[in-house]
Chains A and B, each alone.
Chain A
Amino acid sequence: MSDYDFDRVNVLLAEDSPFIRSLLVNSLKVLGVGNVFAVEHGGDAIHFLQRVKNEPMKVGVQQIDIVISNWDMHPIDGMMFLRWVRRHKDSPDRFVPFVMITSYSEPERVLQAREMGVTDMLAKPFTIKNIGDKLISIIERPRQFVHTKDFFGPDRRRQKLEFEGPERRVLTDKSEGVEIIRG
């Protein structure tokens, strides 16, 4: 068994509380994450990603591998930031894994974030194990992205359940109207 090497991983962290921000930066660094870029709110995060796209040499990073963002921030909150990442034409990577931190664990909030294309949620209060589990899940179990007329984001079906019986799904990979893009 070997250990992950997070040294080449670039994380963008948007968190408005200085205390939680330094806590997360510190935790990620100690876990071995090579680069953690921390900003104070969604607006700064968008600005940062635009710079990654337009002047990567100046910023010192070619690509952000994982975005971690608080939900409740001013003036631009985590949901607005997520929407920008997934839908805006200037977004440098609409597929980037996006973890939303929230102290709201009500199902409705989780659903709202999922519909906007969140990859995973990290609930406050969190432990190091929670952070580690999110990293592993992002690395080991990436989901295909789905694009329909009213959804763009990681597949909301996480489980692959074995199903004995006839295929009754309306659309399969081979159906007309289904396009598969590999890369």
Chain B
Amino acid sequence: MDKKKVIVRFYRFKNRLKEKTAGLAPGKVSISAEALEAAEAALEKMAEDYPDWVSGLIVKLQEQHGRCVDSPEKRRESLEAINHIAHDMKGQGGTFGYPLITTIADSLYGFSYSRDEITDNQVELIKAHLDAMRAVIRGRVSGSGGEIGEKLIDGLNQAIAKYDK
């Protein structure tokens, strides 16, 4: 007899995760209110630390920028380090109420992504990004930042248009 051809397999398993977390007793289960509150408080606490954390990263970017200036032959290496930090920053600015940091980090990320050559002007552009980030954190410019935010981003884009060559 021909083995029948299977077109689709459905896998239906016992809900072991439910057994593990809620036991076998019937009834509605929820996440403990105290745990939720505690977790929210912990998240808020971390969000408060966010500007300090970004400042730490800006210092690291600053060091790499300094290396670009001091040892032009090692620019590629520094650029890679900058790209890595920018990637890290662009992922979470929005999560903690600083979308401008995400925008600027995103620009820096694109700018530092796999470049072979980097001119002195372009090294200056890295600095322009750092200055903009610093302005955001120093001024605690959260959200889109309104007029100040717009000015910062405009200024940065103008600098890129002018010096990215």
**Taking beta carbons and an 8 Å cutoff, which residues of A are in contact with B?**
1-6, 8-9, 16-20, 22-23, 26-27, 30-32, 65-66, 70, 72, 74, 95, 97, 103, 124-129, 131-132, 135-136, 138-140, 142, 144-149, 171, 173, 176-183
Contacts and interface: CB of A to CB of B under 8 A. Distances in A.
B32 A3 contact: yes
A9 B21 contact: yes
B83 to A, nearest CB: 10
Given A145-B10, A180-B12, A18 B20 contact: no
B27 A103 contact: no
B145 interface: no
B90 to A, nearest CB: 9
A18 B42 CA distance: 16
A173 B29 CA distance: 31
Given A3-B29, A103-B91, A147 B9 contact: yes
A146 B94 contact: no
A95 B36 contact: no
Given A135-B31, A144-B12, 7 more contacts: A3-B35, A8-B20, A17-B91, A20-B92, A139-B22, A147-B9, A147-B11
Interface residues of B, number: 42
A131 B23 CA distance: 21
A19 B50 contact: yes
B71 interface: no
Nearest to A94: B11
B7 A177 contact: yes
Given A171-B8, A183-B11, A30 B91 contact: no
A1 B143 CA distance: 39
